[in-house]
């Protein structure tokens, strides 16, 4: 047997060990004949086994190829849809997620070997490395919870008064010299606030939880909650209350609630909806909410969702003029004017700029910012009444409707707000915005600012048809004192702050003088010298929608002065919300009449109560100004904080 073993080895090595002769070529047949029967059997066995393996492997390869091409066909339409909305530089993972292949709930699988068809060893290594990199990225990327916020670099500090006109950088207009990633998002341990809150902040947290739990129980994933009937309704069909509340959850430090909300965004939120949405509303509430949450948490999930939404809103800008259409279908991309007429609201087309600019800075793609800068420049170039604008503008002609009202209330309000805030967002480098804001405030002083009788409350009226003064003031106007205080803090004239202080007092009186201590939606100020009461409330205007504007201004005033009277004012208002708008079985509701002894509910929890009202109250009642510092963040119109850039 040892000899047989030696023979077998000698064949396998190709030598004729027996004869000790040098190696020479022999025919296959001669070699075969010289083999022992054991050697022949082993060779036959090897050949049979090889053949059998081939029979199994070849069809499998063929089948695999077939599957990939069918799969490709099946997903082609979907993928085209994604390509349509994905940013040019969008990551492959963004596309995977959109297609449902990168679902955050799904366990991330390690890279699979042997999937790609490869010829060269180098290619193999390259693709394997790509897969591993991608896998590691995905593990990093969508790990839930807090991570480091985006890059921190300080904004350019400027002297209090902007350094004088001569030192102001030139207006770069629609072609901004991006300093991407220059935004300053200071680190803050949001989810570690237990034991650090003031008693009043704890009360706000309780109120928030009370509303949140009811929404979760009866309306989870739906846009709006009706707490009396415990039902829900859709507006955009995007879980509006959740998305609008995301950054409030972070700022209030509510980790379990935030985790639930994030999970919903990761697994349920889609903008692939055959739904017409209002450009302004979805921008300030949803785009703003996603971007702010991205900046606070550094979690790319929110950035990816913001990019998807931003792309779907862009068709609004394909109008015959530089004024965008007010509505767009999220799925079909069809944009159009509002159903009620040919005009867009001036405040709506001018209150999308902070969000679209931020999206450009985040993506390093200037298409979003350029779209909204075109609108801003167009509105800047239109004739105005001492900086004041009519509330309607036509998206076909690009002109104001000259006979429309001038107001700082509905449809006019945030045009002025975004002038100041864009100047701040761009590091006070774009003076077009600052100049328009200054001119508008001069226009206010000239045409709209009056004192009531008998108490001399300072208020802002309206010009009906652009001409006739009316002593009417919407609660919406009460954002203005806070915004003017913010301007003053950024170097605008002292008298802006004087006006801000007096307007804040007036807005508080709109609450304090009502039997419920809640403000009506609209008041008229008495002008008659002999009148006994300053405030007149008409029956159709007596409702309260849980709006934030007054507590927003109280927050700014407290941050800038440290005067606790503003906290006390806010506490009075908060107590009134608790007393009259809290629904026994869960949630808060808007009410019909702030003058009525007995509250009647309108059965609606507006998403801005959670996004804005409770957020501003929480910030107002705290003494930690490093929680959303106002030299690093600028709040959008829905109280979503966005970073201030250096240009």
3-state helix/strand/coil string of 289-302 = HHHHHHHHHCCHHH
Choosing from 223, 247, 276, 281, which is the catalytic residue? Answer: 281
- Measured distance CA(388)–CA(480) in Å, rounded: 14
Q: State the nearest-atom distance from the C-beta of 284 to ligand DMJ, in Å.
A: 6
Sequence-separated (6 or more) residues with CB below 8 Å from residue 397: 321
Q: State the nearest-atom distance from the C-beta of 422 to ligand DMJ, in Å.
A: 15
Handedness of CA 158, 162, 166, 170 (dihedral sign): positive
Q: State the nearest-atom distance from the C-beta of 440 to ligand DMJ, in Å.
A: 17
Q: Is 260 a catalytic residue?
A: no
Sequence-separated (6 or more) residues with CB below 8 Å from residue 138: 93, 102, 108
Q: State the nearest-atom distance from the C-beta of 587 to ligand DMJ, in Å.
A: 18
Name which of 537 and 551 has its Cβ closer to ligand DMJ.
551
- Residue with token string 């159903």: 339
Choosing from 343, 348, 355, 549, which is the catalytic residue? Answer: 549
Choosing from 299, 365, 413, 417, which is the catalytic residue? Answer: 413
Choosing from 299, 436, 521, 612, which is the catalytic residue? Answer: 521
DSSP states along 124-172: HHHHHHHHHHHHHHHHHHT--S--PPS---PPPP--TTTT-GGGSPPP-
Contact 215, 605 (CB under 8 A): yes
Name which of 304 and 417 has its Cβ closer to ligand DMJ.
417
For residue 560, count other CB atoms closer than 10 A to its CB. 18
DSSP states along 575-621: HHHHHHHB-TTSSB--BS-TT-SS--B---B-HHIIIIIHHHHHHHT
Q: Is 521 a catalytic residue?
A: yes
Name which of 239 and 548 has its Cβ closer to ligand DMJ.
548
Name which of 301 and 500 has its Cβ closer to ligand DMJ.
500
Contact 508, 457 (CB under 8 A): no
CB-count burial class (<10 Å; 0-12, 13-18, 19+) for 365: buried
Q: State the nearest-atom distance from the C-beta of 549 to ligand DMJ, in Å.
A: 6
- Measured distance CA(109)–CA(129) in Å, rounded: 15
Name which of 192 and 233 has its Cβ closer to ligand DMJ.
233
CA nearest 285: which of 351, 335, 338?
351
- Residue with token string 């100041």: 420
Q: State the nearest-atom distance from the C-beta of 397 to ligand DMJ, in Å.
A: 26
Name which of 201 and 637 has its Cβ closer to ligand DMJ.
637
Q: Is 413 a catalytic residue?
A: yes
Alpha-carbon Rg for the chain in angstroms? 33
Distances (CA, A) of 383 to 48, 399, 414, 445: 91, 9, 19, 19
For residue 150, give both structure tokens.
């985006």
Q: State the nearest-atom distance from the C-beta of 146 to ligand DMJ, in Å.
A: 27
Name which of 353 and 414 has its Cβ closer to ligand DMJ.
414
Q: State the nearest-atom distance from the C-beta of 597 to ligand DMJ, in Å.
A: 26
Name which of 282 and 448 has its Cβ closer to ligand DMJ.
282
- Measured distance CA(419)–CA(435) in Å, rounded: 9
Q: Is 194 a catalytic residue?
A: no
For residue 110, give both structure tokens.
């390690």
- Residue with token string 């107001």: 407
CA nearest 139: which of 170, 118, 108?
108
Q: State the nearest-atom distance from the C-beta of 535 to ligand DMJ, in Å.
A: 19
Terminal alpha carbon distance of the chain = 89
Give the residue nearest to ligand DMJ (CB): 637
- Measured distance CA(139)–CA(136) in Å, rounded: 5
Name which of 258 and 416 has its Cβ closer to ligand DMJ.
416
* Interface residues toward ligand DMJ, by CB under 6 A: 284, 414, 476, 547-548, 608, 612, 637-638
- Measured distance CA(522)–CA(529) in Å, rounded: 22
Handedness of CA 521, 522, 525, 531 (dihedral sign): negative
Helix, strand or coil for residue 285?
Answer: helix
Q: State the nearest-atom distance from the C-beta of 552 to ligand DMJ, in Å.
A: 8
For residue 474, give both structure tokens.
């919407």
Q: State the nearest-atom distance from the C-beta of 531 to ligand DMJ, in Å.
A: 29
For residue 270, give both structure tokens.
């889609």
Name which of 293 and 414 has its Cβ closer to ligand DMJ.
414
Contact 289, 296 (CB under 8 A): no
Residue 390: phi and psi, rounded to 5, are -65, 155
Name which of 500 and 639 has its Cβ closer to ligand DMJ.
639
List active site positions.
281, 413, 521, 549
């Amino acid at each position: 047997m040892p000899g047989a073993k030696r023979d077998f080895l000698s064949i396998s090595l190709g030598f004729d060990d027996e004869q000790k002769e040098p190696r020479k070529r022999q025919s296959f047949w001669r070699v075969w004949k010289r083999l022992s029967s054991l050697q022949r059997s082993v060779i036959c066995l090897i050949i049979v086994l090889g053949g059998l393996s081939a029979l199994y492997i070849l069809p499998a390869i063929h089948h695999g190829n077939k599957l990939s091409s069918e799969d490709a066909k099946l997903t082609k339409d979907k993928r085209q849809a994604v390509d349509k909305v994905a940013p040019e530089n969008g990551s492959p993972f963004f596309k995977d997620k959109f297609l449902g292949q990168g679902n955050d709930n799904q366990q991330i699988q390690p890279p699979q070997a042997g999937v790609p068809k490869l010829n060269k060893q180098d290619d193999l290594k390259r693709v394997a490395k790509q897969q591993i990199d991608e896998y590691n990225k995905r593990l990093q990327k969508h790990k839930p919870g807090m991570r480091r916020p985006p890059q921190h670099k300080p904004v350019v500090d400027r002297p209090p008064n902007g350094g004088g006109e001569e030192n102001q950088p030139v207006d770069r207009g629609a072609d901004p010299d991006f300093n991407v990633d220059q935004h300053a998002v200071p680190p803050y341990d949001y989810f570690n606030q237990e034991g650090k809150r003031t008693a009043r902040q704890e009360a706000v947290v309780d109120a928030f939880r009370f509303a949140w739990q009811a929404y979760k129980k009866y309306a989870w994933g739906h846009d709006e909650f009706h707490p009396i009937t415990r039902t829900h309704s859709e507006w955009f069909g995007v879980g509006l209350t959740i998305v609008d509340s995301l950054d409030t959850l972070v700022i209030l430090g509510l980790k379990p609630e935030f985790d639930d909300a994030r999970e919903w965004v990761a697994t349920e939120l889609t903008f692939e909806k055959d739904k017409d949405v209002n450009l302004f509303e979805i921008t300030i509430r949803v785009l703003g909410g996603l971007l702010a949450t991205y900046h606070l948490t550094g979690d790319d999930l929110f950035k990816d969702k913001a990019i998807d939404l931003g792309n779907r809103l862009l068709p609004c800008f394909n109008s015959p003029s530089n004024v965008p259409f007010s509505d767009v279908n999220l799925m079909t991309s069809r944009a159009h004017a509002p159903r009620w007429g040919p005009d867009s609201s001036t405040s709506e087309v001018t209150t999308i700029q902070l969000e679209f600019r931020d999206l450009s800075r985040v993506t390093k793609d200037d298409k979003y910012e350029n779209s909204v800068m075109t609108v801003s420049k167009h509105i800047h170039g239109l004739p105005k009444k001492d900086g004041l604008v009519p509330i309607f503008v036509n998206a076909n002609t690009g002109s104001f409707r000259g006979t429309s009202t001038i107001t700082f209330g509905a449809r006019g309000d945030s045009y002025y707000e975004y002038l100041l805030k864009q100047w701040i967002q761009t590091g006070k480098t774009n003076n077009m915005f600052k100049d328009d804001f200054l001119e508008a405030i001069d226009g206010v002083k000239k045409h709209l600012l009056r004192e009531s009788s008998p108490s001399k409350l300072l208020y802002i009226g309206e010009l009906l048809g652009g001409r006739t003064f009316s002593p009417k003031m919407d609660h919406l106007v009460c954002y203005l004192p806070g915004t003017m205080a913010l301007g003053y803090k950024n170097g605008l004239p002292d008298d802006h702050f004087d006006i801000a202080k007096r307007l804040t007092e007036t807005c508080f009186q709109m609450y304090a003088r009502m039997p419920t201590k809640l403000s009506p939606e609209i008041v008229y100020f008495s002008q008659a010298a002999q009148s006994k009461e300053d405030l007149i409330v008409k029956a159709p205007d007596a409702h309260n929608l849980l709006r934030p504007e007054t507590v927003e201004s109280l927050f700014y005033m407290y941050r800038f002065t440290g005067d606790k009277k503003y906290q006390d004012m806010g506490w009075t208002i908060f107590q009134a919300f608790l007393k009259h708008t809290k629904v026994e079985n869960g949630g808060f509701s808007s009410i019909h009449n702030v003058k009525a002894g007995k509250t009647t509910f309108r059965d609606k929890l507006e998403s801005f109560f959670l996004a804005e009202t409770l957020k501003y109250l929480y910030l107002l009642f705290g003494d930690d100004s490093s929680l959303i510092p106002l030299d690093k963040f600028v709040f959008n119109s829905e109280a979503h904080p966005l970073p201030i850039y250096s240009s």
